Structure 1
Amino acid sequence: MATVNLSQINKFYGATQALFDVSLDIEDGAFVVFVGPSGCGKSTLLRAIAGLEGIDSGAVRIGEADVTDTDPADRGVAMVFQSYALFPHMTVRQNMEFGMKVNKVDPAERTRRIAEAARILQLTDYLDRKPSQLSGGQRQRVAIGRAIVKSPKVFLFDEPLSNLDAKLRVQMRVELEALHKQLNATMIYVTHDQVEAMTMADKIVVLNGGRIEQVGAPMDLYHRPATKFVAEFIGSPAMNVFAQARVPGLRGLTLDGATAYIGCRPEHFMIQPEGTGHLDGTILVREQLGGETLLYACVSDDLTLVVRTDGDDSTAPGTRIGLEIPAHRLHRFDADGRALS
């Protein structure tokens, strides 16, 4: 395995800049997730590491080698795409073997690598089947197996689970986490799904408009977002962030002049009787999800806040409530969206 070091990466498509001075250090054996909305540059950055996209300036290092101008095949990476891209006329074994045959790997070594990858991915009983005889999850495992047999320094995943149904995505997330621990591999994973990012990553890289907004452990980003963008992107439901000017009659909150926005996670609100919290609202909708209940409280004509409560909460729509924000759960942001200490 290997470290990955990016230094001041810039990428243009004609007159449009897709990446802006991106610098990042990824430790050996880490599971790093690039996350952000569509068009933020996460897949472009991944493809730049793979060598599938040239960069206009900056440097890419994998291990001790500068691979900025190195062909993709010689970078020591293996990539798993959103599309499985399996050869339909070949068996699982042949799909996994194809790249090694092209690279003239010794037949005995090919057999050993395939057997090991099949054992790890629980595909041993499917090696002689064709892709049409496999489920979606099994096909994705074959695509991952094809990467494993390359014995790469770094695994790259470009939204590999987005074609699977919700239940299978959860199962594959667990399998990928287990695979990472088993291989102790350096893995870089791209997704737009912040739930995937939170559950899988050692380190999350949040991208926005081609720039890195914040890098950190999942719970660090959750509890200490550096910007308003990160606060509203990480978490499901997202943090409630609102301009204090939009809420008339805030009671008991002492805010300095630099504070333009206030934030609070849905689960951190404390429900109080009307008139006794920091602000009041009317419950519009109650969503009972089993283990938790989400209450949507209308605070003003153009502001509705989400409150997460116990699954057995019975607060009815139409109820007036007070909401208190504990001091240690209050997030403040300036007019540029930067977090204030």
Structure 2
Amino acid sequence: MATIQIKGLNKFYGATQALFDVSLDIEDGEFCVFVGPSGCGKSTLLRTLAGLEAADSGSITIDGSDVTHAEPADRKISMVFQSYALYPHMSVRDNMDFGMKVNRFDEATRKERIAEAARILQLEDYLDRKPGQLSGGQRQRVAIGRAIVKNPKVFLFDEPLSNLDAKLRVQMRVELEGLHRQLGATMIYVTHDQVEAMTMADKIVVLNGGRIEQVGSPMELYHAPVSRFVAEFIGSPAMNVFEGRVTSGLTLKPSAQLVGCRPEHFELLAKGDGHIDATVRVKERLGAETLLYLDTGRAQELVARVDGDNEIEVGAEVGLGIPPARLHQFDAEGHALR
């Protein structure tokens, strides 16, 4: 498929800068996820990559060709949007066929590509139905099929699962992962949902205020966040980050102002035996695991993840131990200290 190189990309909307000197390499066949909160620039970056927004400076290279100022149709990309954008009066077959007809593909090629996309997406039995006769997941598969038949170098997905219910989102995540393995294609996927990012990505790009905060594999970001922002954004529940002076018996770096610990890394001990004393305020049973919401007597509430069969009761006083290898330290600006 294609490698992608983005160098020094900047984007303005009038006097407002949306992207700040973004540079990024995406390897051939990678599933790369742009993630971050609303307004962080992830969709703007995707749309600029697609050519739907013009870059104000910097360059975009796809498969060795500079496409910075190329029209979207000349970039060999296909984009799947949050809204399915299907033609309601057309059948599934005609929806997938429309773009190829406009671009004057011969009939034999069109039929072959539609048949292959339908096979991959398990849509053979639905080709003669109209979108209104399909479920949400089936309509999303049609939108993906419309992208597949273009045989692009790069697939771009802009929050494609946002309109689906929770169960269907999980199913479609699995289907997209399978599709990626089957096609071996370069895919870029935008989401605000860090669970989607963690479960689907080869590479995650965390954006914050139009800048890249960190790039890495899901577990690199999980275990070695470069900032408090990444530490609290990646992982559910989020990493506990609190003032170092709340703890006792921990050896901290001189510039450490904040410390962090993932909920599952706390050791549940007797009161007085850990680094922090706390009281169980709320107990949330989730089946295989239980979340304990803990009051430390300060403004900061902590969350600990324990086994689902744990018998600790609300109101119990406990000690929380933090294993040194699981301790994260941050300076006053939120930068990780190594």
TM-score over 0.5 (shorter chain): yes
In structure 1, distance between residues paired with 2:126 and 2:207: 39
CA RMSD of aligned residues (A): 0.6
In structure 2, distance between residues paired with 1:69 and 1:304: 50
The match for 2:278 among 278, 281, 289 is 281
Cα-to-partner distance string for 1:82-135 (whole Å, 9 max, x where unaligned): 000000000000000000000000100000000000000000000000000000
> What residue number does 1:7 align with?
7
In structure 1, distance between residues paired with 2:253 and 2:148: 54
> What residue number does 1:32 align with?
32
Cα-to-partner distance string for 1:238-273 (whole Å, 9 max, x where unaligned): 00011224x2xx221111321011000000000010
The match for 1:306 among 303, 307, 311 is 303
Matches of residues 180-259 of structure 1 in structure 2 within 5 Å? 180-245=180-245, 247=246, 250-259=247-256
SS of 1:85's equivalent in the other structure is coil
One-letter amino acid of the structure 2 residue matched with residue 26 of structure 1: I
One-letter amino acid of the structure 1 residue matched with residue 113 of structure 2: R
Answering whether residue 331 of structure 2 is matched by residue 327 of structure 1, we say: no
Q: Per-residue deviation at 1:303?
A: 1.2
Q: Per-residue deviation at 1:300?
A: 2.3
One-letter amino acid of the structure 2 residue matched with residue 83 of structure 1: S
In structure 1, distance between residues paired with 2:157 and 2:268: 42
SS of 1:290's equivalent in the other structure is coil
In structure 2, distance between residues paired with 1:23 and 1:255: 34
Where structure 1 has 5 or more consecutive residues not aligned to the other structure, the ranges are none
> What residue number does 1:165 align with?
165
Cα-to-partner distance string for 1:55-96 (whole Å, 9 max, x where unaligned): 110000001100001000110000000000000000000000
One-letter amino acid of the structure 1 residue matched with residue 260 of structure 2: G
TM superposition outliers: structure 1 runs of 4+ over 2 Å: none
Q: Per-residue deviation at 1:301?
A: 2.9
Give TM-score, length-normalised by structure 1.
0.98
In structure 1, distance between residues paired with 2:132 and 2:215: 40
> What residue number does 2:257 align with?
260
Answering whether residue 132 of structure 2 is matched by residue 132 of structure 1, we say: yes
One-letter amino acid of the structure 2 residue matched with residue 40 of structure 1: C
Corresponding pairs, count: 338
Cα-to-partner distance string for 1:149-204 (whole Å, 9 max, x where unaligned): 00000000000000000000000000000000000000000000000000000000
> What residue number does 1:117 align with?
117
In structure 2, distance between residues paired with 1:82 and 1:284: 39
Q: How many percent identity over aligned positions?
A: 72
In structure 1, distance between residues paired with 2:288 and 2:281: 20
Answering whether residue 86 of structure 2 is matched by residue 86 of structure 1, we say: yes
In structure 2, distance between residues paired with 1:15 and 1:244: 40
> What residue number does 2:287 align with?
290
Where structure 2 has 5 or more consecutive residues not aligned to the other structure, the ranges are none
